[in-house]
Amino acid sequence: MKRAEFIQRIRHPCFVEAMHSKVGRIHLPVARFCNIRCRYCERRVGEFYHSSRPGIAYRVIAPAEVKGYIEKALKECPGIEVVAVAGPGEPLFNPQTFKALSIARKRFPKMRLCVCTNGLLLPDNVGRLWRLGVRYVTVTINAATPETGARVYEWARYRGKLHRGVAGARLLLEKQFQGLEMAAAAGMDVKVNSVLIPGINEKELPMIAERAAALGAGVMNIMPLIPSGDFSGRRAPGCKQLRAARKRCERTIPQFRLCKQCRADACGVPGESDMKLTVKRGKGGV
């Protein structure tokens, strides 16, 4: 497929750099809870919190608010073509995600649907996502070995059981790569997100890239650590280190370089300033 045809087919601002300043996306903040503990993560919901990074939302909305939420966004930004769920918790761990996506598909059938996930529950939900019309999936994978994974993740909760340390990381990695392969095989466009954490996982990023590409991922997005949570005292990677990591991994899989590490309630065209979308508080409010 020619590059121009690929760009037109994808038309997703987080998958194709040429679409970054042309196509808008809206994140529906419907997923409150999470099933893993990332040591770099601080999830925050509330009017008082104004940081721009993943896991942050002004409020969590209920599925019943989705129609009005999207309608308001389209009035302010008609260029929105992608509806996604990216938090503030783990989308696949929250039933509200599937309800919200179902509503979006029925009310806005021309919208492209997307989910950003940690991957633990992806193998269990690929078929369900496909039936809902989801064609874009981003999986965040931060390690290639359980030992490194145990330094990034404190625990993972799967089917009611808590898995800690190396055992939890091993389970998470297994599900992440299995789910990635299943999603690609189903016909979804798959992107891999990896947070570059200096001193912990930089040597494993090429391993993640190679395995992800072999299983069907089409693009990789290496993001710099935003020091927070347990890693609030760690340093973020510099531009030189980030460029070097992308260059190494680009030998295996195309790299996306324009990520803004946006909020779970981001809305608008990423190349511009995101809108501050405020909708009257409903039952799903904070």
**Radius of gyration, CA atoms only, the chain:** 18
Gap between the Cα atoms of 116 and 223, Å rounded: 14
Q: Which of 168, 133, 138, 175 is nearest to 153 (CA)?
A: 168
CATH of the domain at 62: 3.20.20.70
Within-domain flag for 177:
yes
At residue 57's C-alpha, the angle toward residues 55 and 58, to 5°, is 160
Within-domain flag for 278:
no
Residues 124-179: tens digit of each pLDDT: 999 999 999 999 999 999 999 999 999 999 999 999 999 999 999 999 999 999 99
Q: Domain limits at 169?
A: 3-268
Within-domain flag for 71:
yes
Q: What is the DSSP letter of 14?
A: T
- Where does the chain have alpha helices with state H? 3-10, 66-76, 95-107, 122-132, 146-152, 165-186, 205-215, 239-250
Q: Indicate the number of domains in the chain.
A: 1
Within-domain flag for 275:
no
Within-domain flag for 191:
yes
- Answering whether pTM is above 0.85, one says yes
Structural contact between residues 231 and 225, judged by C-beta atoms closer than 8 angstroms: yes
Within-domain flag for 147:
yes
Within-domain flag for 84:
yes
Within-domain flag for 283:
no
- pLDDT for residue 48 is more than 90: no
Residues 219-230: tens digit of each pLDDT: 999 999 999 999
Stretch (H or E) spanning 113: strand 112-117
